[in-house]
Amino acid sequence: MTRPATDFAALLTRLLDARVAFILVGGVAGNVHGSARATYDIDVVYARDGDNLRRLVDALGPLEPYLRGAPPGLPFRFDEQTLRAGLNFTLTTSLGDIDLLGEIIGGGSYENLLPSTLEISLFGASCRCVTLATLIRLKRAAGRPRDLEVLAELEALAEESDRS
């Protein structure tokens, strides 16, 4: 079955409107910096304090989040209790796929990563995204062979940004 295209704008707007504290990482962060590679989901590192978990549930709850790749019919409930009991969630929603990361390899938690971010303007709101240098470091830390080609593009992007 073909996955529906993630509506990046609508999904991010929901998080921003609900004032969820999150940082863009992964492929979408690469695109924010100018990458030309396609990605099908949104990866965010989110703050795990109680208020933010509530905002996250308010923002995504109506979109029927479910564990991506899991068989249908599991008793999965997207609520504060579930978020508190887990850490990283790969979800599918009615607006597309989103990965909620409580921690990321090489970068740690939201608070750890915050000094390595920049603020960008997206869809009428302000959004935090990792810097290009940090994104490169995170990809290097992940150490996945499939990321080598991604890293080549991100590093080329850093060179081009320095030139322009």
Q: Using CB under 8 A, list all residues that contact another protein.
A: 2-9, 12, 28, 31-36, 38-40, 106-109, 111-113, 115-116, 120-123, 129, 133-134, 136-138, 140-141, 148-149, 151-153, 155-157, 160-161, 164
When the beta carbons of 18 and 32 are compared against another protein, the nearer one is: 32
When the beta carbons of 71 and 121 are compared against another protein, the nearer one is: 121
Q: Is 69 helix (H, G, I), strand (E, B) or coil?
A: coil
Closest distance of CB 77 from another protein, Å: 29
Closest distance of CB 48 from another protein, Å: 14
Across the beta sheet with 96-101, the strand order is 66-67, 89-93, 96-101, 41-46, 22-25, 125-130, 117-122
Closest distance of CB 156 from another protein, Å: 5
CB 120 within 8 A of CB 57: no
Nearest to 128 by CA among 148, 151, 107, 150: 107
Q: Per the structure block, which two tokens stand in for 156?
A: 């080329």
When the beta carbons of 80 and 102 are compared against another protein, the nearer one is: 102
CB 95 within 8 A of CB 10: yes
